[in-house]
Amino acid sequence: MPTLHDILREGRMVANHRPWPRAMVNARTWQMAAATAADGRLTLLGLWGDADVVHMALLDDQAGSAAVLSLECPDKRFPSVGRLHPPAIRLERALRDMHGLEPVDCPDPRPWIDHSGGAPYPFLSAEGDSLHQIAVGPVHAGIIEPGHFRFTVNGETVVRVEERLGYVHRGIEKLMRGAMLEQGAKLAERVSGDSTVAYALAFARAVEAALELEPPPRALYIRGLMAELERLANHLGDIGAICNDASFAMMHAHCGILRERVLRAAHGCFGHRLMRDCLRPGGVARDIDAAGLALLDALVTDIRRHFPALVKLYDNTASLQDRTVTSGILKPALARQFGAGGYVGRASGRAFDVRRSIAYPPYDELEFDVPSLTEGDVNARVWIRIREVEQSLSLIEQMMARLPAGPVMTAVTSRPGESVSMVEGFRGDVLVWLRLDDDGRIVRCHLRDPSWFQWPLLEAAIEGNIVADFPLCNKSFNCSYAGHDL
């Protein structure tokens, strides 16, 4: 079978695409790449459209290299990747809705993001005696994002869950078109509120790669601090929320307090609880002062003092363990096939973390572990989060100790270029592909949330579980609606 290198050689290399190579390929090579991904030798990172061109980002796990393949489709048709490699199906359905490019022989002809069709959405059928359907959402009883779930159940046992998303589509990629960099950074940051820093960082790194800028070292470290604060806040919130979905409110209350302290520390250091508008292409908008560092120091000490007791409480509460252990098992083979990122992948044996696998500064200079488990149940996803909280605390300490002095911003020039960037958000790998024109305007910006590959896995993980365990499994995945719907 061909390697990523072999596939790239078949195509015509595109100049000015950084940092990964991009090649224009023909339909035959495109299909060969799809077949290689289907074989499990390459991981699909993204599939998106442009004006009459489709792009596909692929990762070679073994070599640690990635590349973008592009196929021209002047007749608005291209050979389906999803036909060979199922993780691409939803991406292709979204691509058809957004760009009108038809994936030929795609197994699923239904629309995905586009809800404008008058006819009711045809859900997949599951037939049999005593099966019935439960429709949940898009508006839920709790204050969460909107999404519809269609359950087919046999008594209490789930036979199938099908997701229907797209309710929070805001047209972000269209708004990006023609936007100035400053506006683009604002838009990227607002894709998903809980991943503000991750998206801002991914966008900034894409801009810097396209313009060949190098942000000052101090800015890189401050970005790292922001990213780890965001991870801490979300993981702490998730650990509590998962326990709350098993009606164990005590963990929720105590984790909520810790999460609040992280957010307040972020506000104290950077002037915004979610660190919005703090990270810019070229550096960071806000420097951290001695008072901010003292806040972070106090925060790390505080969490280190209180978190172990919560971990112990989680581990020693038998009634809670009874709910989380062995429910919602995601098989490692599926996690690998879909290239699941974040805690979803790492709890199912896919030890992929962008900070380690395709390291970017400042993580290339720091010591940390990438925790990984193989059980793939709700409990494993909680434990990955617990371990990552500990790693984030250690990373924050290391970054504070090594924080270089100097400026925090470089001037951003304008020139044409193309780039791709991938960073590790709390949920998993966020991918951004960017093309800039001569004036520094955005021609096309594609943002791919890790949830694209996690949502379908939730459907697989819930199969055979009971209906009442769905909220628990769903919370342990905690996929993004907004990041997915764009």
Interface with other proteins (CB under 8 A): 132-136, 140-142, 155-156, 243, 245-250, 252-254, 257, 317, 319-320, 322-323, 327, 466-471
Whether the CB-CB separation of 139 and 149 falls below 8 Å is answered with: no
Minimum CB distance to other proteins smaller for 205 or for 261 = 261
Q: Which residues of 260-273 are buried (b: 16+ CB within 10 A; e: fewer)?
A: ebbbebbebbbeeb
Parallel, antiparallel or unpaired: strands 65-72 and 157-164: unpaired
Whole-number minimum distance, CB 467 to other proteins, in Å? 5
Distances (CA, A) of 484 to 7, 148, 456, 466: 29, 14, 12, 26
Whole-number minimum distance, CB 477 to other proteins, in Å? 15
Whole-number minimum distance, CB 249 to other proteins, in Å? 6
Query: How many Å apart are CA 216 and CA 199, to the nearest integer?
Result: 20
- Helix, strand, coil content of the chain in percent (nearest 5): 45, 20, 35
Minimum CB distance to other proteins smaller for 55 or for 150 = 150
Minimum CB distance to other proteins smaller for 178 or for 471 = 471
Whether the CB-CB separation of 288 and 223 falls below 8 Å is answered with: no
Query: How many Å apart are CA 476 and CA 344, to the nearest integer?
Result: 8
Minimum CB distance to other proteins smaller for 163 or for 245 = 245
Minimum CB distance to other proteins smaller for 289 or for 322 = 322
Minimum CB distance to other proteins smaller for 288 or for 320 = 320
Whole-number minimum distance, CB 319 to other proteins, in Å? 4
SS (HEC) of 386-423:
HHHHHHHHHHHHHHHHHCCCCCCECCCCCCCEEEEEEE
Structure tokens at 291: 């008072």
Distances (CA, A) of 171 to 28, 29, 92, 165, 314: 32, 32, 17, 14, 41
Minimum CB distance to other proteins smaller for 78 or for 383 = 383
Whole-number minimum distance, CB 253 to other proteins, in Å? 4
Query: How many Å apart are CA 97 and CA 116, to the nearest integer?
Result: 10
Whole-number minimum distance, CB 254 to other proteins, in Å? 8
Whole-number minimum distance, CB 70 to other proteins, in Å? 43
Minimum CB distance to other proteins smaller for 260 or for 297 = 260
Determine the residue type at 441. Answer: R
Q: Torsion angle of alpha carbons 436, 437, 441, 444, nearest 10°?
A: -50
Whole-number minimum distance, CB 182 to other proteins, in Å? 39
